[in-house]
Each structure stands twice: as structure tokens, then as C-alpha cells.
């Protein structure tokens, strides 16, 4: 009967206008309301670092490669544990490497893994010394000794290249750029 638009249609029109009209121009926009709540600054506590990565499940093409992949993964957990004051998680994380070390020893013994230059004794000695440095790391962490854990971690990391320089045949590409070929620098 009435020619006036229904209330519903009117409401829709108002909503459409409100959506299509900018609330303000760049220049006349009011400053953000002072009542805007600040962003939360305290995220919930992180889960224990050892729960984040199953380093012990990693495998490689041979016993040493398996051990190395687990090692790299585990040491990243140790860095996290140091930064988060969670040293109690270090000993169980390092313990996952134990079986890998045994497997390397057996492979060396059985001749299943041959160091590139054939010097099994030198390789085994380096491996042994390296694992001693891991024991020091575990002991410092178990004693909740922060400075000692960090220093032991430095010693552990210092041992990588001593072995790689002689015994690592190839340097694998970084995991994040598996297909990126190294570019030659011309300058
Ligand atoms: C006793 C010798 C030795 C020590 C010590 C050692 N490595 Fe290795 N590492 C090797 C050898 C040998 C390889 C090559 C294994 C292969 O590809 O067959 C290797 C390979 C690797 C790889 C490549 C694994 C892959 O995916 O191919 C990583 C990563 C690695 N090592 C990390 C480390 C880190 C980190 C340390 C020190 C904290 C370390 N290694 C200490 C002998 C060693």
C-alpha cells in the first residue's frame, strides 16, 4: 500500500552507504582512540624445548650423517634452552645422541663407515674428544650452571670444523635454500 521503502531496505541502503563511504580522508582522520588497548606483551609460556623437535628421529645416508643431523638439531635445542633458562632440558636432549654415537662406533669398527682418508683411528679419536665436550656440556647444564653451559657450548661448536676440515667430504646446502646454486661474485 505504501510507496515508502520498507525499513529493511532502508537499513540495507544505510549500511551500503556506510561501507562505501570512507570514514575520513587521510588528512582529517582523527588520531587513534586513546582507549585502544595495548597489544599483549606477554605471550603464553613456551612448551619445553625438548618437546619441539624429535631430533632422535632424524636419519641420514650413513651412521655419521645420521649422528650429524641429530647433533645439529639437538644443539639448536640447547641454544633455545640456554636462552629460555631451561637448562634442565639439556641433558635429555643430548642423551638422544647417545645411540647415534654408538652406531657410529660400530660402523667404524665393522668397516661399514670409512672416513674419507681412511684414517679410522684419527677419526675415532676426534669423535671421542668431541663427545667428551658434550659430556662437559651436560654436566654444566645438570648443575644449572649458566656460564658453564654457555662456555661448554662454545667448546662443542669449536670442535665441528676440526673434524669437518679433514673428514667431511661434501658440505651440504643450507636446508632453507636447497635448490639455490651458489652465485659467483664478479667483484
Ligand atoms: C669426529 C668428526 C666430526 C665432528 C666432531 C663433527 N662432525 Fe659433522 N660431520 C662429520 C662427517 C664425517 C660428516 C659427513 C658425513 C657424510 O656425509 O657421510 C659430517 C657432516 C655434518 C653435517 C651434514 C649432515 C648432512 O645432512 O649431510 C652437519 C650438519 C654436521 N656435520 C654438523 C656438525 C656440527 C654442528 C658439529 C659440531 C657441533 C659437527 N658436525 C662435528 C664429522 C664430524
- Tell which atom from ligand 1 comes closest to the C-alpha of 123: 1
User: Would you put residue 118 in left (φ > 0), alpha (ψ -120 to 50) or beta?
Assistant: left
17 — pLDDT class (breaks 50, 70, 90): very low
pTM for this predicted structure: 0.73
Does ligand 1 lie within 6 Å of residue 114's CB atom?
no
170 — pLDDT class (breaks 50, 70, 90): confident
Give the start-to-end residue ranges of the domains of the chain. 60-167
Neighbours of 164 (CB within 10 A): 13
What is the predicted pLDDT for the residue at 32? 59
The answer, yes or no, to whether residue 29 has pLDDT greater than 90, is no
Q: Tell me how far apart the alpha carbons of residues 144 and 153 are, in angstroms, rounded to a whole number.
A: 14
Q: Tell me how far apart the alpha carbons of residues 19 and 13 are, in angstroms, rounded to a whole number.
A: 10
Distances (CA, A) of 75 to 50, 57, 98, 148, 173: 11, 15, 14, 16, 19
* Structural domain 60-167, CATH architecture: Up-down Bundle (1.20)
Backbone angles phi, psi at 171, to 5 degrees: -100, 115
The helix (H) or strand (E) run that includes residue 180 is none
Does ligand 1 lie within 6 Å of residue 103's CB atom?
no
34 — pLDDT class (breaks 50, 70, 90): low
53 — pLDDT class (breaks 50, 70, 90): confident
Does ligand 1 lie within 6 Å of residue 159's CB atom?
yes
* HSE-CB of 51 using CA atoms within 13 angstroms: 4
For the segment 169-177, the average pLDDT, to the nearest whole number, is: 69
The answer, yes or no, to whether residue 148 has pLDDT greater than 80, is yes
Amino acid at each position: 500500500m505504501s510507496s515508502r521503502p520498507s525499513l529493511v531496505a532502508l537499513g540495507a541502503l544505510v549500511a551500503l552507504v556506510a561501507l562505501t563511504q570512507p570514514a575520513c580522508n587521510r588528512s582529517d582522520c582523527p588520531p587513534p582512540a586513546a582507549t585502544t588497548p595495548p597489544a599483549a606483551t606477554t605471550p603464553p609460556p613456551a612448551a619445553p624445548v625438548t618437546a619441539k623437535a624429535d631430533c632422535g628421529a632424524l636419519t641420514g645416508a650413513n651412521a655419521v650423517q645420521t649422528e650429524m643431523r641429530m647433533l645439529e638439531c639437538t644443539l639448536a635445542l640447547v641454544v633455545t634452552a640456554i636462552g629460555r633458562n631451561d637448562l634442565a632440558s639439556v641433558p635429555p636432549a643430548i642423551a638422544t645422541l647417545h645411540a647415534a654415537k654408538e652406531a657410529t662406533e660400530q660402523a667404524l669398527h665393522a668397516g661399514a663407515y670409512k672416513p674419507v682418508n681412511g684414517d679410522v683411528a684419527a677419526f675415532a679419536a676426534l669423535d671421542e674428544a668431541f663427545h667428551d665436550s658434550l659430556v662437559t656440556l651436560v654436566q654444566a647444564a645438570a648443575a644449572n650452571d649458566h656460564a658453564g653451559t654457555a662456555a661448554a657450548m662454545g667448546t662443542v661448536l669449536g670442535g665441528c670444523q676440526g673434524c669437518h676440515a679433514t673428514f667431511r667430504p661434501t658440505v651440504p646446502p643450507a636446508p632453507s635454500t636447497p635448490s639455490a646454486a651458489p652465485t659467483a661474485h664478479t667483484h
